Amino acid sequence: MGEIILDVRNQRTAFATARGMLNAVDGVSFTLERGKTLGVVGESGSGKSVLSRSVMRLLPGNSVVPSDSKVILNGKDLTRLSETELRRLRGPEMAIVFQDPMTSLNPVLSIGKQIMEVLMFHMGMKKGPAKEKAVELLRAVGLPQPDVRVNQYPHQLSGGMRQRVAIAIAIACEPDLLIADEPTTALDVTVQAEILDLLQRMVKERNMAMILITHDMGVVAGRCDEVAVMYAGRIVEKAPVRELFNNTRMPYTAALLSSIPKVTDPPHRKLDAIEGRPPDLINPPQGCPFAPRCKFAGPECEEQVPPLEGPGAHQYACVKPLGEEVAA
């Protein structure tokens, strides 16, 4: 086993809303080793982005996290740190790349200044060397003419180039953990491939750990070591990537996979849609949250929320997992 960088234990994140408490992340636990990439997939509202912000401790004021939730990064429990201490960690130990590079970059600062800011704050670098390092970083992320681009502003760059800049900022202080939250969702498909290649290369070269959050099963299939599927705020299945796709146990994962249109399908194939919609997280159903939409659900599914368990690395939260029909 490699060195464990991140250990998330029973993370719960709720938001106080006018209608009541909304349990966006509802008891998520996992660990992540150096050099590995964990893919987190789910549909909107499944809690994947709130999970990433819970790890970064970037939650809004109306969020509630109980005291038994722990996020341990390099042996430090982030839930016990002050905001000042957290700021010292964001950058050198953990960093995040967001979906929309136009809103995550500052429109009135040159991209060079935005990279230098990080280097000067965290690494105590002086202006001159920081600028040199900024150019070097821009070159590393594949920005053409980095010595010219360093003085340009975000609006002068294309979406793909802006995302490269956001990645340069994220890796500037060589973090141990990089979170990429839908990093290519706003980008065209050819640019997406380039950015995903870049992220993968950075993780390998710098020996980081990465959490890649996406709604796209195609993105996780080729880019992750392990995949966690989220539904209604929980991880409902987690396995090494090949195992997850080839030996799917949780009916939700299977349903999600077969509802995706594929370029290899014949034209006009009827898609296996999942009927209904995800549950209301303020008043979740009794038992398994997927049971109301599940083709295989029985009365036993409504009794209690199934825990995430299973033999070895393949875990699933289901009382009637697929592939056990014969034994049952």
Partner 1 sequence: MNAEPGKIDTFLAIDNLTVEYPLQGGRKVHAVTDFTAHVKRGETLGLVGESGCGKSSAARAVMQLPRPTRGKVTLDGQDLTGLKGRALQQARRRFQMIFQDPIASLNPRMNIRDIVAAPLEIAGIGTEEERTQRVAEMLEKVGLNADQAMERRPHEFSGGQCQRISIARALILEPDLLVCDEAVSALDVSVQAQVLNLLEELKKELGLTMLFISHDLAVVKHVSDRVAVMYLGRLCELADAETIYRQPVHPYTRTLLDAVPEPDPDAPEREINLVPGELPSPVNPPSGCPFRTRCPRASEQCKAVMPELREITRGHIVACHHPLVPEAG
Residues that bind partner 1 (CB under 8 A): 43-44, 142, 144, 158, 160-161, 188-190, 192-194, 196, 215-219, 221-223, 241-242, 245-246, 255-257, 259-275, 277
Name which of 17 and 158 has its Cβ closer to partner 1.
158
Name which of 219 and 235 has its Cβ closer to partner 1.
219
Tokens of 114: 């935005």
**In the complex, minimum distance from the CB of residue 52 to partner 1, in angstroms, rounded to a whole number:** 18
Region of residue 276 (phi > 0: left; psi between -120 and 50: alpha; otherwise: beta): left
**In the complex, minimum distance from the CB of residue 232 to partner 1, in angstroms, rounded to a whole number:** 13
Tokens of 171: 């890796």
Name which of 151 and 258 has its Cβ closer to partner 1.
258
Structure letter (DSSP) for residue 113: H
Name which of 20 and 276 has its Cβ closer to partner 1.
276
Name which of 194 and 302 has its Cβ closer to partner 1.
194
Q: Determine the residue type at 272.
A: D
**Phi (first) and psi of residue 10, to 5 degrees:** 50, 50
**Rounded-to-integer distance, Cα 320 and Cα 297, Å:** 8
Region of residue 268 (phi > 0: left; psi between -120 and 50: alpha; otherwise: beta): left
**In the complex, minimum distance from the CB of residue 317 to partner 1, in angstroms, rounded to a whole number:** 18
Distances (CA, A) of 62 to 16, 65, 236: 6, 10, 26
**Rounded-to-integer distance, Cα 279 and Cα 273, Å:** 16
**In the complex, minimum distance from the CB of residue 244 to partner 1, in angstroms, rounded to a whole number:** 8
**In the complex, minimum distance from the CB of residue 279 to partner 1, in angstroms, rounded to a whole number:** 12
- What sign does the dihedral 24-318-30-177 (CA atoms) show? negative
* Contact yes or no for 186/135 (Cβ under 8 A): no
Name which of 102 and 221 has its Cβ closer to partner 1.
221
**What strands, in cross-sheet order, belong to the sheet with 94-97?**
94-97, 177-181, 209-214, 37-41, 226-231, 234-240, 315-316
Name which of 60 and 268 has its Cβ closer to partner 1.
268
Residues pairing with 315 in the sheet? 238
**In the complex, minimum distance from the CB of residue 307 to partner 1, in angstroms, rounded to a whole number:** 24
**In the complex, minimum distance from the CB of residue 328 to partner 1, in angstroms, rounded to a whole number:** 26
